[in-house]
Amino acid sequence: MLLTYNYFSLENPLASCSFAALMRQFIRHCFKSLADPILNWQYSRYARVDRTCRFMGLTILVKSGVFHPVFFFSTKALAKYLSTLSLKGKKVLELGCGTGAISVWAAKNGALATASDIHPIAVNNAQENAHLNGVKIQSVVSDLFENLNDEMIDLIVINPPYYPQKPTNLAENAWYCGEEFEYFKGLFSQLAPRPNSEEVFMVLSEDCQVNKIKEIAHKNQLELRLVHTEKSILEWSYIFKAERKPL
């Protein structure tokens, strides 16, 4: 699996045009250009077998081919932001759950959590992690909201695929949103008519085309409002809240 990055784009509305910021982008681009082929090769070998890891105080089983919640910064960035919210008694939906790490963590913190994913192996993985950590969650195989019932949800959390390539198998849906950003077109068209009372939080990386994703949201009468930023060694993660555009 080869990941590609939008290394040095100034289309990102969150990027600074200062000399220091441009130099940081340039250095980061050079480093990742050299490191990524090696890291991708190593990770592809590592991910061929099931592994376990520690995540936010939990023991998480990562099945082969399922998105790893520790090796990539987005999952932890989203969980750290959610830790600032009160989850007790809230109905939380993790859309595109992977290992279900966030669902399990939310359940540990008193939420009524549902983990959904298009990939059956990921959904089973989420249930295994709930059992492993002594909590109960619901889990559903679903393409976005397709197989989810219409009951009210308090919180929807999304760590989406955002690389504009066509997925060639179920596992690649964790990474690739389609050449024309089909994932986001489907997501925002299904989010738009949902109740205003539902809060929707999504994590994006500085590596992705934030402007394009915001444009798709805008066409569906939604705005992505930045509520938190999280810096890791190599990248910034941004937490957005999706809100209905005012009339």
| CA distances (Å), origin 67, targets 16, 95, 119, 155 | 30, 13, 11, 22
Q: Helix %, strand %, coil % for the chain, to 5?
A: 35, 25, 45
| CA distances (Å), origin 84, targets 77, 87, 90, 100 | 12, 9, 14, 19
Closest CA to 137 of 119, 157, 116: 116
Residue 47 pLDDT: 56
Q: At 211, which CATH number?
A: 3.40.50.150
Residue 46 pLDDT: 52
Asked, for residue 7, whether it belongs to a domain, the answer is: no
> The tokens of 120 are what?
């059956």
Asked, for residue 43, whether it belongs to a domain, the answer is: yes
Asked, for residue 56, whether it belongs to a domain, the answer is: yes
Distance from C-alpha of 239 to C-alpha of 246, rounded to nearest angstrom: 21
Asked, for residue 189, whether it belongs to a domain, the answer is: yes
Asked, for residue 4, whether it belongs to a domain, the answer is: no
Within 13 A of 109's CA, how many CA atoms are on the CB side? Answer: 20
Asked, for residue 1, whether it belongs to a domain, the answer is: no
Distance from C-alpha of 42 to C-alpha of 39, rounded to nearest angstrom: 5
> The tokens of 47 are what?
């991910």
Residue 24 pLDDT: 46
Residue 44 pLDDT: 60
Low-confidence ranges of the chain (pLDDT < 50): 1-13, 16-17, 20-24, 26-28, 30-35, 37-39, 41, 43
Backbone phi, psi, residue 204, to 5°:
-130, 155
In 223-242, which positions are buried (b, 16+ CB within 10 angstroms) versus exposed (e)? ebeeebebeeeebbbbbbeb
Question: How many domains would you assign to the chain?
Answer: 1
Closest CA to 74 of 214, 235, 241, 243: 235
- Quote the domain boundaries for residue 205: 19-244
Instruction: Outline where the chain has alpha helix (H).
Output: 19-46, 73-82, 101-108, 120-132, 182-191, 210-219
Asked, for residue 37, whether it belongs to a domain, the answer is: yes
Asked, for residue 142, whether it belongs to a domain, the answer is: yes
Residue 9 pLDDT: 38
How many CB atoms sit inside 10 A of residue 180's CB?
Answer: 12
Please enumerate in sequence order all residues whose Cβ is within 8 A of that of 198, keeping only pairs 6 or more positions apart, or say none: 152, 153, 154, 155, 156
Within 13 A of 54's CA, how many CA atoms are on the CB side? Answer: 1
